[in-house]
Structure 1
Amino acid sequence: MNLSMGPILFYWSRQTTMDFYASMATQPLDAIYLGETVCSKRRALSLDDWLGLARDLRSETAAELVISGMALIEAASELSTLRRLCDNGEIRVEANDMAAVQYLSRSGVEFTGGPSLNLYNAYALDELVRLGMTRWVPPVECSEALLRDLICQARQQGLGLPEIEIYAWGYLPLAYSARCFTARAENRPKDDCGFICQDYPEGMPLLSQEGQPLFTLNGIQTLSAGISNLLAEYPRMQALGIHMLRLSPAATGMEKVISSFDQVRRGAEPPLAVDGCNGYWYGQPGMLRVEEAGLC
């Protein structure tokens, strides 16, 4: 299976972002996603900067470069930027909103469908394949059983089936809102947030009243409290015919994460269990580690 590095979900400084991608260019990755998917107020890099970075990386890595679009469009200015992104004519686009699907399909451009498109059955998948989607990242809550049934349904009915890219490591994007939770937590209005997200390079932990980690707040995005890790499920994903595994950027330690997945895909024995949650893969609450709960 191929490995991809997903778009950065958090708000990092321009230099931190540039340094991160410079380091990723030397890693054994088959695709690298760039771009802002969460909040248009995060202006450390403009759309032109992202496109320029993708062009620069082309000379440093053999990995495919992809620009990801926003998952929640809230203003005409964001729609205008999305249109420019889809019309760039050079770099592949990941559509995370149906507006992007419309722009790309109208231009006859092939694209990747991101996890926020909320596709759950083979007929919906076939419709987007007809519109140009050649790779699909299922929603993070999809289980192995759901994916197996979807693939079986597509093959039995003769429906279009794109390459499938599984969200295999990282904080899980669970929901988006018009409210900025990080600004609210700091008693700041959304329109005058002071870019407070930069103070939380891996999001703001949200605990339950009992002190249990529950979610991670990341601006308008709600993430899982823990990191999802499907490395132990590698043989099962391989048996399903999964084409690519997505690793989502974290502030530190990504080289070690990439190495662990790379070693397994090159023949090393996958671990029996890993740190991190994997409940969704088994059709259980996502925060669970099913090995510990005795559910697998």
Structure 2
Amino acid sequence: MGAPMSETFVPAQQAANVPRFGIALGPLLYYWPRETVMQFYAAAADSAVDRVYLGETVCTRRHELRHAHWLEIATMLREAGKEVVLSTPVLIESDTDIAWMRRVCEQDDYLVEANDLGAVRCMGGRPFVGGPHLNVYHADTLAWLAGLGARGCAVPVEMDGPTLCRLAAGRPRGVSLEAMVWGRMPLAFSARCFTARHHRLRKDSCEFRCLDYPDGLVAATGEGQPFFTLNGVQTQSATCLDLCGEAVSMAAMGVDMLRVSPHASGTLDVVATLAAIRAGERPAAPTGITPAGAQPCNGYWHGAAGIVWEERT
């Protein structure tokens, strides 16, 4: 099995006065051409990322990369010194989805991110990471998952700071926590493909239109305000979460990993920013980087509407 997560994980180039935190690259949520994906992860292999999540989590109809291709990328990243975690689909609704999930869960070369309870059951008590869509909000749920094999868990994107602090304080010993700090926020999944619907196509004959939108298709309100991002069966925020300015605070709470969500631009620049923060080379601050000109947001962290941006006080 791949290298397990450690309670004593120490990232490279950690400044003495900065609480320890690792940098994780979340699963790719968009549909990119195979060559683009390969180039992206080749660049990630040379970045400061500590952990990389791989696999199709949104739509198993996407066929540019199959399971064997993800394993090829995993081997390359492991050889580059990265910890690799294979992610399962979030919405399981067909035999194809079940087969995809089992293929990921039944391999024993890499740790698994279980994104629904079916995947947790499929793991059969073997170690896994709980994905953000398991919706873990309090320590009792985290303890229950730990009893089923969870070594760590990514918290939901809508969790505010005080709630995350309480969860970190009450978690079982040896269970790590991860929080997303940058990228468009995944909000919901549906059996209906909104990208196909936008093009007046059926889901089963979508013509793989998601390939036309490397950062998703932004939908606006009647007043023209960007509101949601359509990504096939997934709905995301139109704004870009930026909690990099809270990196040191999160680490001080006990958050072990900070997750960056892959986008067509800016992703590895954000990784470099986080690496500089933990090395003490620059003060913790918002990056000012957003994909495709999206506005930044941090409202959930402050207990406000997720779409808003609040300056640090």
Q: TM-score, normalised by structure 1?
A: 0.93
Measured against aligned partners, the alpha-carbon deviations of 1:157-216 in whole angstroms (never above 9, x if no partner) come to: xx4561111101111000000000000001111000000000000000010111111011
CA distance in 2, matches of 1:136, 1:167: 11
Find 2:107's aligned residue among 85, 88, 92: 88
Gaps of 5+ in 1: none
Measured against aligned partners, the alpha-carbon deviations of 1:36-80 in whole angstroms (never above 9, x if no partner) come to: 000011011111221222123322x11101111100001022112
CA distance in 2, matches of 1:84, 1:237: 34
Contact residue 182 and residue 242 of structure 2 kept, 8 A: yes
1:136 aligns with 2:153: yes
Partner SS, residue 112 of structure 1: strand
CA distance in 2, matches of 1:232, 1:207: 28
Find 1:43's aligned residue among 39, 49, 63: 63
- CA 1:273 to 1:26, structure 2 compared with 1: closer, same or farther past 3 Å? closer
Q: Which AA in structure 2 matches 1:260? A: T
- CA 1:89 to 1:274, structure 2 compared with 1: closer, same or farther past 3 Å? closer
1:122 aligns with 2:139: yes
1:211 aligns with 2:224: yes
- CA 1:239 to 1:42, structure 2 compared with 1: closer, same or farther past 3 Å? same
- CA 1:28 to 1:272, structure 2 compared with 1: closer, same or farther past 3 Å? closer
Gaps of 5+ in 2: 1-20, 289-295
Q: Which AA in structure 2 matches 1:64? A: E
Contact residue 196 and residue 232 of structure 2 kept, 8 A: yes
Calculate the aligned-residue CA RMSD, in Å: 1.5
1:239 aligns with 2:259: no
Give the Å deviation of 1:273. Answer: 4.6
Find 1:17's aligned residue among 5, 17, 37: 37
1:103 aligns with 2:122: yes
Number of residue pairs matched?
286
**118-127 or 159-168: bigger deviation:** 159-168
Give the Å deviation of 1:254. Answer: 2.2
1:259 aligns with 2:259: no
Measured against aligned partners, the alpha-carbon deviations of 1:116-149 in whole angstroms (never above 9, x if no partner) come to: 1111111111010111111110011011111122
Q: Which AA in structure 1 matches 2:90? A: A
Contact residue 126 and residue 160 of structure 1 kept, 8 A: no
Partner SS, residue 297 of structure 2: coil
CA distance in 1, matches of 2:170, 2:178: 18
Partner SS, residue 237 of structure 2: strand
CA distance in 2, matches of 1:273, 1:52: 34
CA distance in 2, matches of 1:152, 1:23: 36
Measured against aligned partners, the alpha-carbon deviations of 1:232-271 in whole angstroms (never above 9, x if no partner) come to: 1122112201101000001022221111111001113435
CA distance in 1, matches of 2:91, 2:258: 24
Name the structure 1 match of 2:91: 72
Contact residue 151 and residue 161 of structure 1 kept, 8 A: no
CA distance in 2, matches of 1:152, 1:236: 14
